[in-house]
Chain A
């Protein structure tokens, strides 16, 4: 069974631009969550999508948005990039939404904002 895939793996953008990252969950998984990892703030939850609906959102500005498609694939978008958005963006998928459900992560997208 294929794992979680994320594209692109690496990305370089300049301030003010926007970026779209893609995540394909494990087949059959309906929940997709996004996390941002930086050296200063560590791993922080961005948002979660389940059945094409955003179910949960972390404490990030409105420049960060996302969506989920009917096949459970998800995209996240960051508009008006800032230097501080440089990070590893991780996507995780799980079958359902329970406290016991294990989230499986993809390899991440490394975003560098210049």
Chain B
């Protein structure tokens, strides 16, 4: 069954340091997409980065990069040079092309990141 696991309920990081948020997934599909979203206390889900199952290179978007290890079924988010505004909940999500339904995202439980000055 499709599943996303985020094992870190909370993380602390010093401002300007890098932090890695873990995400593992389980799927039987060959075609799927992996997403990371940020949710500040306001509630809105902000798209950060996407990785396709057939992408050979790790995705990067500014300070965000995705460490994609397909054989291990992991898709960790790396935030470089953390900023105070990065404090939020972070969700890893997956969408399968076929068995999961096209626009049905499966979310992990989330990791709450706190950036300290």
Residue positions of A touching B, CB distance < 8 A: 31, 33, 35, 42-43, 45, 48, 50, 55-56, 58, 88, 90, 92, 94, 97-108, 110
18 contacts between A and B (CB under 8 A): A31-B102, A35-B107, A42-B107, A42-B108, A43-B105, A45-B104, A45-B105, A45-B106, A55-B102, A90-B43, A99-B32, A99-B53, A101-B103, A102-B35, A103-B35, A105-B47, A106-B44, A108-B43
B→A interface (CB under 8 Å): 31-33, 35, 37, 42-47, 50, 52-53, 91, 93, 95-97, 101-110
Q: Check B44 against A100 for contact (C-beta < 8 Å).
A: no
Complex interface: chain A residues within 8 A of B52 (CB): 99-100
- Known A-B contacts A43-B91, A98-B102; A92 and B110 likewise in contact (beta carbons under 8 Å): no
Establish whether residues A99 and B106, one from each chain, have CB atoms under 8 Å apart when the complex forms.
no
